[in-house]
Chains A and B, each alone.
Chain A
Amino acid sequence: MKIRANGMHYAALNAAVRDSEETDIEISGCGGQRYLGAGLADRKIFVYGTPGNALGAYLNGAEICVDGNVQEATGDTMNGGVIEVHGSAGDATGYAMRGGKIFIEGDVGYRCGIHMKAFLSQHPAIVIGGRAGSFLGEYQAGGTIVVLGLHTDGKPVIGNFCGTGMHGGEILLRCETLNVALPAQVRAERIEGPGSEESAALIREWCARFGRNAAPYLQAVYYRLTPNAENPYRQMYTPN
């Protein structure tokens, strides 16, 4: 099904997507409509334009591909599915996501992957082509975030306060040197290659989706960030 979204209210657009008999949906002229695909399971949505905030919130298995940039809170509390963005993403991408994968070709804003968690077989992942803003992986409790650092503006691959409050999961940063201060609860280790077959698979998938040759990414140097402790606040309290 094809939908021309120009000027359409988000509620009408979302209802059209939800009520569609077909699973494959192409949306053109998307301009800021929010909550696209919220909670959906069995849809393949292709979007031309710029969807609004909370694209794919509570996504439950659907696949969304965007030819353009996306705004804030993409994949908020996502439980499963794939979001692929041929462009950059705003703040809080993948907020509290528990499952599924987000692939961003360009950069992400602040607080990407905040509260990301893993659960049983669900292991969420975000792969970012460019660089990430400050507070990447804040309170991260599980899952994998990969930042490939393809950006060309010369800035560090991450901003400040990466992994603040982190207590699970891992962050992989492709860079030769890590010249950014990390909070005390984060441990960084320099590794050749992505470290695990799971991470390599994620990187290969990102390359396939955005038409890149995977070899140079698989051989590069990465910094692997993991939490120092699973219970960072255990020592903080005194029963009264």
Chain B
Amino acid sequence: MELYIRPDYEIVRNESRCTVCRVCERQCANELHFFDPATGRMRADESKCVNCHRCVSLCPAHALKIVKTDDAYRENANWEAQTMHEIYRQANTGGVLLSSMGNPKPYPVFWDRLLINASQVTNPPIDPLREPMETQLCLGRRTVKAERDEHGRLKDTLPPQLKLSVPVLFSAMSYGSISYNAHESLARAAAELGTYYNTGEGGLHRDFYKYGKNTIVQVASGRFGVHKEYLETAAAIEIKMGQGAKPGIGGHLPGSKISEDVSRTRMIPQGVDAISPAPHHDIYSIEDLKQLVDSLKEATEYKKPIIVKIAAVHNAAAIASGIARSGADIIAIDGFRGGTGAAPTRIRDNVGIPIEMALAQIDARLREEGIRDNVSLIVGGSVRSSADVVKAIALGADACYIGTAALLALGCHLCRSCHTGKCNWGIATQRPDLVKRLDPACGCKQLVNLITAWKHEIEEMMGGMGINALEALRGNRLMLRGIGLTDTELRLLGVRYAGESL
């Protein structure tokens, strides 16, 4: 007999409003709403509810709400209901717990303990509506030896750069983990915004080669979909060493999610598991990493910047220092709150460190060693707003990767059930009937709106500080003050406490 796990949510239907139109029944991929002919009313099997709010959002009569159940176990601060349920689940199945999206645990969010400066009196603020603000930037290696040709003219020895009109890129999400329409939305928005989206490790769909100029392609241990044309089409190539949601753990897309189209994009047979374990089996050192970096540069004739992506882990600063010497042009660091299509719960919730700490330490370390300009830094792993972006840049980042925020703009309701493949919002699914719920034209528009709004906000915050170029904000930690932080946290972040003047 299986241990019973009581549902976490209750579906409250306002019977006086419900017209029995059965929209909720049709909309729910978890098939929990049903019509009861005996009573002529709608009913619901709450055990199937993932709280994605699809039915609530689409009910034309506004008759539905989902509430947290008030059914309570005996109160226990140590053994919460979720903890008990996890034990029941494992006792029932013997399986490794699998979750999705970012770490939901109440760890400190350091973004929320950093405050941004503004100018008063002596160094006047700048009005972004009146004055030009520079939010364009380039990512890549900046250290080059000046060389002159025989006529004494400077030669262009600048290594390849990524040019962005705003310091935000869409982070790696593979086709397979998210849908075709989600990918198309991201690709179109990146092109319209003058930034980049990232294929993840699932290959690049034929239809999206036309967005190549705005595409970063990934090379992971399983090398799915990696071939000459894929590398050549992209604007940059990212070597995936790690992912914030599951440091030390690889990707595993179950065969059931490998549809015909996904299989063609990954270049693997349909229905077979796609396994990309954590280690690259030819990388055991920085020298080995350099070999992969160099082989990709050779294969693309030194025309593309190479990004190395790592998860934020305890020794991130030392690792980044090695990567900055490996020939990589850009380092991407993914914090432990980063999202995922599927990760073992225990890894997601317990492994890695906050991106704020990793970033502050990496930037400081690279500066100390005089190699900061060897690389650009992109950070992700829960960047939620333009304020987070500004704080990240002041802590030393060049740009930010957003994943979860981008999916939210596409309609994701953070139900954290992507691993089931039944995303009711057409994002984390391959089921054609669900995928078509996300219209790429709308998705693209929403993403463009979001980033355009963030850009204005970034300009406003910069203007407030009296700063008119991102370059002047980068690593400018004097623009930040900590609040509610310990001395150690302040030291690691390299910021002063709120109220502490120069």
Residue numbers of A with Cβ under 8 A of B are 10-11, 14, 18, 34-35, 38-39, 41, 53-54, 57-58, 60, 72-73, 76-77, 79, 91-92, 95-96, 98, 111, 114-115, 117-120, 122, 138-139, 141-142, 165, 167-168, 230-240
Assess the A239–B419 pair: CB atoms within 8 A.
Answer: yes
In the complex, what residues of A have CB within 8 A of residue B417's CB?
A: 239
Give Cα A139 to B252, complex, Å: 12
Assess the B98–A239 pair: CB atoms within 8 A.
Answer: yes
| Interface stretch of the complex, out of B124-132, B269-277, B379-387, B434-442 | B269-277
Q: Which of B90-132 contact A (CB under 8 A)?
A: 90, 92-99
In the complex, what residues of A have CB within 8 A of residue B267's CB?
A: 98, 117, 119, 122
Is B345 at the interface (CB under 8 A from chain A)? yes
Please give me the residue from chain B that is nearest to A168 by CB atom.
B272
Assess the A232–B273 pair: CB atoms within 8 A.
Answer: yes
Q: Which of B243-274 contact A (CB under 8 A)?
A: 252, 254-256, 264, 267-269, 271-273
The one of A79, A92, A235, A239 in contact with B281, judged by C-beta atoms closer than 8 angstroms, is A92
Give Cα A234 to B252, complex, Å: 10
In the complex, what residues of A have CB within 8 A of residue B255's CB?
A: 230-231, 234
Assess the A39–B269 pair: CB atoms within 8 A.
Answer: no
In the complex, what residues of A have CB within 8 A of residue B294's CB?
A: 34-35
CB distance from A102 to the nearest CB of B (A): 15
Is B408 at the interface (CB under 8 A from chain A)? no
Assess the B95–A236 pair: CB atoms within 8 A.
Answer: yes
Given contacts A168-B272, A238-B89, A240-B345, contact A60 B228 (CB under 8 A): yes
Assess the A240–B97 pair: CB atoms within 8 A.
Answer: yes
CB distance from A90 to the nearest CB of B (A): 10
Give Cα A118 to B269, complex, Å: 7
Give Cα A144 to B228, complex, Å: 22
Assess the A165–B298 pair: CB atoms within 8 A.
Answer: no
Assess the B89–A79 pair: CB atoms within 8 A.
Answer: no
The one of A18, A41, A141, A235 in contact with B95, judged by C-beta atoms closer than 8 angstroms, is A235
Given contacts A57-B295, A72-B282, A98-B227, contact A239 B268 (CB under 8 A): no
The one of A58, A95, A114, A141 in contact with B299, judged by C-beta atoms closer than 8 angstroms, is A58
Please give me the residue from chain B that is nearest to A97 by CB atom.
B223
A-B pairs, 10 with minimum CB distance? A238-B95, A96-B223, A39-B299, A240-B97, A35-B298, A237-B98, A38-B298, A38-B299, A119-B267, A79-B227
Is B221 at the interface (CB under 8 A from chain A)? yes
Give Cα A170 to B272, complex, Å: 14
A-B contact count (CB 8 A): 138
The one of B93, B226, B302 in contact with A77, judged by C-beta atoms closer than 8 angstroms, is B226
B 1-28 binary contact with A (CB < 8 Å = 1; else 0): 0000000000000000000000000000
Assess the B95–A115 pair: CB atoms within 8 A.
Answer: no
Give Cα A31 to B451, complex, Å: 51
Residue numbers of B with Cβ under 8 A of A are 86, 89-90, 92-99, 221-223, 226-228, 231, 252, 254-256, 264, 267-269, 271-273, 275, 277, 281-282, 291, 294-295, 298-302, 344-345, 417, 419-420
In the complex, what residues of A have CB within 8 A of residue B95's CB?
A: 235-238
The one of A35, A96, A235 in contact with B222, judged by C-beta atoms closer than 8 angstroms, is A96
Assess the A58–B291 pair: CB atoms within 8 A.
Answer: no
Please give me the residue from chain A that is nearest to B263 by CB atom.
A119
Please give me the residue from chain A that is nearest to B93 by CB atom.
A238
Please give me the residue from chain A that is nearest to B85 by CB atom.
A240
CB distance from A78 to the nearest CB of B (A): 9
CB distance from B345 to the nearest CB of A (A): 5
Assess the A77–B227 pair: CB atoms within 8 A.
Answer: yes
Assess the B420–A239 pair: CB atoms within 8 A.
Answer: yes
In the complex, what residues of B have CB within 8 A of residue A233's CB?
A: 252, 254, 273, 275
- Provide 14 A-B residue pairs closer than 8 Å at the C-beta atoms, listed in order of the A residue: A34-B298, A39-B231, A39-B299, A58-B227, A58-B228, A96-B226, A114-B281, A138-B281, A141-B268, A167-B272, A231-B256, A237-B344, A239-B419, A240-B86
Most buried by B among A41, A79, A92, A165: A79
Given contacts A35-B294, A115-B221, A115-B281, contact A139 B275 (CB under 8 A): yes
CB distance from B274 to the nearest CB of A (A): 8
Give Cα A142 to B95, complex, Å: 27
